[in-house]
Chain A
């Protein structure tokens, strides 16, 4: 499985933007880039995903490098509720529902008031 590399931890101040990086140099052409986050004692929550183009949704933006070997999750205005572990995961593309998500260690984001 293609792997991802993320910083162990990052800090941000409330209401400031946060850029969470992810390296995936062994990504293949059909791998989707997923981001999930996990709040303490909860199951993971889907944040955003993309393949080649940058993506925006109500939670965040995903900027994907042109060579797709790295990506950045952008939280435009961090709130205290955004404090969580953020996981960058590569998902094999194609149809069917049996695809696996392989979770790495993720980035622990701390948001300071």
Chain B
């Protein structure tokens, strides 16, 4: 089956620093990748949608200058949390879609970010 990986699986950083999270589709080419955020005991919230080679489309209320998304290839998308603060601590999950008639989304295992 289609596999999506994320790196790192967890990261701890100091307030004010930037953190980059990678999302890779290992055995298929992902036309579209999605980034979600999940706070403890809450559901997933879509942050942005990115298509390879295009600018990401951000959901309402998500700061595009704070959460930089790059989808430079069909197998890699990155999310950079710039000038991270403790309130950015969350579980970040990506998903990837290969396109086609059904377009199922395959999810990564998530990245736990803790900002001190």
Contact = CB atoms under 8 A, between A and B. Distances in A.
Contact of B109 (A42, A87, A99, A100): A42
Interface stretch (A18-26, A61-69, A90-98): A90-98
Given A41-B110, A44-B93, A46-B106, A97 B98 contact: yes
B107 A106 contact: no
Contacts of A38: 44
B104 A46 contact: yes
A38 B107 CA distance: 10
Main secondary structure of the interface of A (DSSP, over half): loop
Report the contact-size class of chain A (Cβ under 8 Å from the partner).
20 to 34
A97 B31 CA distance: 7
Nearest to B42: A105
B103 A43 contact: no
Contact of A97 (B32, B43, B44, B45): B32
Interface string B46-57: 100101000001
A100 B46 contact: yes
Nearest to A44: B107
Given A97-B100, A101-B34, 14 more contacts: A41-B91, A41-B112, A42-B110, A43-B107, A44-B107, A45-B107, A49-B104, A95-B101, A96-B103, A97-B31, A98-B32, A101-B105, A102-B46, A103-B36
